[in-house]
Each structure stands twice: as C-alpha cells, then as structure tokens.
Chains A and B, each alone.
Chain A
C-alpha cells in the first residue's frame, strides 16, 4: 500500500534520542512522524513490557521514563507508527516500512535517524549453538519481558553490560555460574576516575558490583570463551585466560555474550552518506558535523547512531540534531540556535569522558580475534567460515564488498549487521591492514527481510484486472 502521507520530519527510532528530537520539532509546529519496530516508545534501553502486562505496586525506573515518553508524544500530537519495520529509505525522502499486515510509504522533507545500536559480538567456536545469546538479548529478556533466561547462566564479553545483566539475574533469583571478562580488574579500577564524571551511572555501577561481590559470583578476568558445545544438561563452555593460558570447563544452561555496541548505519549507508571508521565510537559511523548533520542534506543523526555516548547523552543528542534541523529550515534564528546548542554541547562534552572510559572497557583485545578457530562461522546467515573468508582474501578479495561477492558474507537476512565488524577485524589482522582500508558494506535494500504477503496485501482473485495473453 502506498499511503504517500507527507511529513516535515520523519524520525526513525523511538528511543530517548528519537523521542527528544521529535518533541523538539513538534513544539515548533512541524508535522512529525516517529516510526519504530517495537510496539511502544523507549528504544531498547527503556523498552516497554508487552502491552498485556499490567504494572503492580513496585516501580522500575525504566518504566517511569518510558511512560513519560508516551505522555509527551501524545501531548505534542506527534504521529506514531509503532510495530513498523523500515526496510528502505530513498532520496527525496521516501520511507518504506511494513507492519503485521501491509507495507506503507511515507514522504518527508527531513529525516532524523535515531536507530541506535546493535550488539557487537566476537565469534568463537560454537557461538551459533542455540542457547548462546547476546548480553543485550539478556537485558531485553530481563528488563522488558521480565523473564530470567534459565536457572543457571554464564555471562561473557566485556564492559558495563556484563555487570548490569549479572545484577538483574541475581536480583530476579537466577544463578550465575561465571562472569568471563576480557578486561582485567586493573582496567576497571583505572576507569573509575573517568566513570565518576557521570554520577548517576557510576552509582548504578557500584550497586551492580556490590551485588555480584556479595553473591560470590566467580569472575574470570582477562579471559574469554574459547569454545561452547551442546551437552546433555545444557552447554559446556571452555574458558581460557589469555594471560596464563589456563583453561576451565563449566556446564551451564545459557551463555550470554557481548563486547559492546555497534552504531546502526543501515539507513545512512542506503542514502550514500559519508562514513568514517572510529573504533572508540563503535566502528563505522556516519560522518557528522558538530550539530549532527550528516553529509546528505536534510539527514540528521540523533543518539548513538553517529557514535556511542550512552543513554543519558542520547536525549541531548536528539535535541542537538533537531535544533540543527530547525535552524536549517529557518524555523529558529541563528541567535536562538547558538544559545540553545551551546548549552547542550557543554553537557555532551562531559558525557564524552564517560563514553571514552566505557569504550576502553569494551575494547577488543587482539588475542580475541587471533583465537577465532578457522572452522568458526563468521557469517551466521550464510554459514561462511573464517577459513572460507581467508581463502577469498588469499585469492585477491581485499575489500569487504569483494569478500561479500566472493563468499556471500553479509548477503543474508541480517545484511551484515552481525558479521561485518568481526570479519573486518579478522581480515585486517590477517592482512595487517587498517579496518578503514577494507571499507564498509554498501547499503542495499531491503535492510530487513520483507514478507511477500505484506507487499501483496489482501485481495480477491476475481477483482484482479486480468490482462489478455499476448498473441503468439
């Protein structure tokens, strides 16, 4: 179905930055549509529980923030398209999406991309075993769906998400068999001076660590999961300390793993915006100016999509991007723009210190890449192994798009979201290249698989205009 409704601004993503930018535009009288795959605002960080859940006495801070988002969206008469998956955005701008029953197209003068991030996971032997899930998946399960994944769990990877997930699992009555962290305890201690610049998050962190400490959860530092295999009672994981080389086997029910976040560049790549590589900001990101304008006129980046700086900074980044839009559209004066953005930029500089410290805790040690076994699948969608990738590289594929053509890596349903980062690391290491020399996957639509029945819609066979067959 082509609906062709026209908007001044379409905001893609209803997390904290999407909501704050939509409100900022709507306050100035612009016609705004906010689109999200989920059934409510909040994004992943403040993700709302399913609609059928009824809240009882105890309040979660996240739910309160989410409720505030919903109220403000209503108050400022922002049109919403929840449960809509965006699968194409073309210049002009036309935004194509589908929901449970049909497809739809909207038009807009300006675009605010607030699609956030997805999880960075470095492969290991057996990471495709069912029961091995992302740490972020674990967070969604705990905080939005209100389930613990299993009675027992191993948490692995690095960064603050390890501690957050551990905290909630203990809080909700689960047992943690091990926390496997690539960072050392010294790395954590070193980071405290920078982390303290964000007292709110720092306090949360201390709360998580105390809980883990008092529950005597075994922590394996400077270690990673070398291997996971399915066994009778669950999953057997081999933990390896890469300083001492010592290994240990543990049988658990679920393994949750994550190494930080990757900014989502699906849409900016489709629009052929310029991108740059910045390891500290999460990998490939759309190139933006100080006010979060992309290289494509009329396209603005809010939130973590143009570099990771965290949930607390996200709403300010939304205000910044939308202010740039309002100024470019001559809705606010230069004076108003400068005054307003000056304050936000100062605030954001403070969050940056915190973001850098977090990114250090989430850094990917070289051995994590080197230790990937040759038979390990790097591209889950198309079953492409490290060996097959390196063979293509030996035969002359020296760019990520050539590797894609050679091996089908990144051609599957996830369009490279899961494999691009780790594969680039593996190949760069092998060739002794910089990741930026390998380039990034050219954006191709559909960025999410589009079910054919949604394209066809509902129709009666009799009502189709039949065309006579051409004469032979």
Chain B
C-alpha cells in the first residue's frame, strides 16, 4: 500500500535515493524523514549512552531526534528534501 495521499497535490519526478546502500524510490522534493518513515526505515540513529535506536519524533525541527548522515554530514532529516541520487546513512554511524 502506498501511503502517499494524492487527492490534493501531484508529486514531482520519481527518483532514487540510497539508504545504507539500499535503493529507495521517492519523489523529488518530498521530506526525507517522512520518506524513510513510510518505507519502514524507522531506526535512524543510536542514543548517546544507552545506544538505543531512535527515530523521527516531532517532525518540526525541535527534538533533533531524526538525525541521519548525508555526504558525511549530520543533518536533521525532517528538514531535508529528496534529491535524485542522495546517499544517506542511518543506524550506528558514529562508529
């Protein structure tokens, strides 16, 4: 089941992104945190002390939980929009 709602808006071009070397289809300009979530990629990083998996939480730039690594840089994924060929690392990226 595609979790996209298309009653009100048409998406842009279909593109591919790369998450931990796995290909994921998405549409250009969609929010990365949301695309990862609906593709069941929910474990984005590990917490600092307990090393528990953490994922997207507030989706408005407040909680900072949805950090992933793009081009070797840590960014909050709720404020990143899909571009073709984007390479994303999730999980234990502090190793």
Q: Which residues of A are in contact with B by a Cβ distance under 8 Å?
A: 37, 44, 49-56, 58-60, 63, 85, 118-119, 128-134, 136-137, 140-142, 145-151, 172-174, 377, 380-383, 412-414, 417-418, 448-449, 451, 453
CB <8 Å contact, A383 and B50: yes
- Give the complex CA separation of A249 and B3 in angstroms: 25
User: What's the Cα separation between A377 and B3 when bound, in Å?
Assistant: 31
Q: Are B10 and A449 in contact (CB under 8 A)?
A: no
7 contacts between A and B (CB under 8 A): A52-B28, A63-B8, A131-B55, A133-B56, A146-B9, A413-B64, A418-B63
**Please, what's the 1-or-0 string for B35-76, where 1 marks a CB less than 8 Å from any CB in chain A?**
001100011100111101111111111111101000001110
Size bin of chain B's contact surface: 35 or more
**Contact A136 B58, beta carbon cutoff 8 Å:** yes
A129: chain B residues at CB < 8 Å are 53
* In-complex Cβ contact of A380 among B3, B4, B54, B59 (8 A): B54
Binding site for A on B (CB under 8 A): 1, 3-12, 27-31, 34, 37-38, 42-44, 47-50, 52-65, 67, 73-75, 79, 81
Given the known A-B contacts A52-B12, A53-B9, A380-B63, are A137 and B75 also in contact in the complex, defined by CB atoms under 8 Å?
no
Give chain B's interface secondary structure class.
loop
Closest Cβ neighbor of A413 among chain B residues:
B64
User: Which A residues are CB-close (under 8 A) to B43?
Assistant: 130
**8 Å CB contact of B62 from A55, A118, A172:** A118
B8 and A130 contact, CB distance less than 8 A? no
- Taking the closest CB of chain A, its distance from the CB of B69, in whole angstroms, is 12
B59 → chain A, closest Cβ, in Å? 4
Do A54 and B58 have beta carbons less than 8 Å apart? no
Q: Say how far B36's CB is from chain A's closest CB, in angstroms.
A: 10
Residue of B nearest to A173 (CB): B5
Contact of B73 among A133, A174, A453 (CB under 8 A): A453
Contact A50 B81 (CB under 8 A): yes
Kindly state the separation between the CA atoms of A174 and B44 in the bound complex, as whole angstroms: 24
Is the beta-carbon distance between A128 and B47 smaller than 8 angstroms?
A: yes
Chain B residues within 8 Å of A119, by CB: 58, 62
Question: CB-CB < 8 A to B58: which residues of A?
Answer: 118-119, 133-134, 136-137, 418
B48 touches A383 (CB 8 A): yes
Q: Is the CB of B61 within 8 A of A448?
A: yes
A59 (CB) vs chain B CBs: closest residue = B8
With a cutoff of 8 Å between Cβ atoms, the chain A residues found around residue B6 in the complex are 146
Question: Could you tell me if A145 and B31 are in contact, using CB atoms closer than 8 angstroms?
Answer: yes
State whether A451 and B31 are in contact (beta carbons under 8 Å apart), knowing that A58-B7, A130-B54, A383-B49 are contacts in the complex.
no
Contact B49–A53 (Cβ < 8 Å): no
Smallest beta-carbon distance A386→chain B, Å: 14
Contact call B60/A52, Cβ cutoff below 8 A: no
Chain B residues lying within 8 Å of A147, measured Cβ to Cβ, are: 3-5, 34, 38
B42 A146 Cβ-Cβ under 8 A: no
Are B31's CB and A56's CB within 8 A?
no
